Structure 1
Amino acid sequence: MSEQTNNSEYNTVTLSLDDGTECECAIIRIFPAGENDYIALLPLEGEAAEQDEVYLYRYVENDGREPSLLNIESDEEYELVSEAFDEELDAMEYEDLYAQEDEENEEA
């Protein structure tokens, strides 16, 4: 995985997929679920991007603070992560709404 920052509002990573292809993804959020941290990635190209798929991976920082992404191995872990991600999306929507209200109040 190589991490890049481009001129868009998102940091991006390039994933090397199992089929040997690469996919550039926007980092949506890094969030905790259970005893681990996870990362949600939004593909920016290809069929997955067209279908608004989100990739979820276990997120680990090694001793050198180098991030690694690990596959989610079990259905139970995936269910836990999916629910936590849904809660994160709700929190992000609330934060956006709250920020918009602040902007409107400042303009008034």
Structure 2
Amino acid sequence: MSEKPNTRPEQEGMEDDDSDILVTLTLDDDSEVECSILTIYECDGKDYIVLLPLDENGEENDEGEVFIYRYSEDGDGNPSLENIEDEDEYEAAAERFDELLDEAEWDALLEDD
């Protein structure tokens, strides 16, 4: 479900697009990927952000691929994203995101009743 991208977080920028906040990731090969923010959540006392890559038309991709980063804000409220280097931490964060997806799907089913 989630993949660990090769990015340089220090090269990430955010821009406000009226209805959505988009994040531009600069990959190791210097290509850029626009992403929408799916969620920000807590796992084991740390915050994480899940980004959904958009296609060349700015539409959500159909591949089910997402990027997960450690998320924080500085004293001025500016966001900061960090690669998750520790494999155990990444697995825990990805597993928690999967749990959140399952909960959201269950909630959607209950609302349909």
TM-score (norm 2): 0.74
| Structure exhibiting the larger radius of gyration computed from Cα positions | 1
**Superposed displacement of residue 100, structure 1:** 4.1
- The alpha carbon displacement at 1:50 in A equals 5.1
The answer to whether 1:4 aligns with 2:7 is: no
Give ranges in structure 1 of 5+ residues lacking alignment: 102-108
Mapped partners of 1:64, 1:20: distance in 2: 28
In structure 2, runs of 5+ residues without a counterpart are: 1-11
1:92 and 2:104 are equivalent in the alignment: yes
Higher RCO (C-alpha 8 Å, min separation 6) = 2
Aligned partner of 2:48 in structure 1 is: 38
> Which runs of at least 4 in structure 1 moved beyond 6 Å after TM superposition?
none
Deviation at 1:99, TM superposition (A): 4.2
Secondary structure of the corresponding residue to residue 85 of structure 1: helix
Hey, which of these two has a bigger chunk of helix by percent?
Answer: 1
Q: TM-score, normalised by structure 1?
A: 0.77
Percent of pairs identical after alignment? 43
Aligned length, in residue pairs: 98
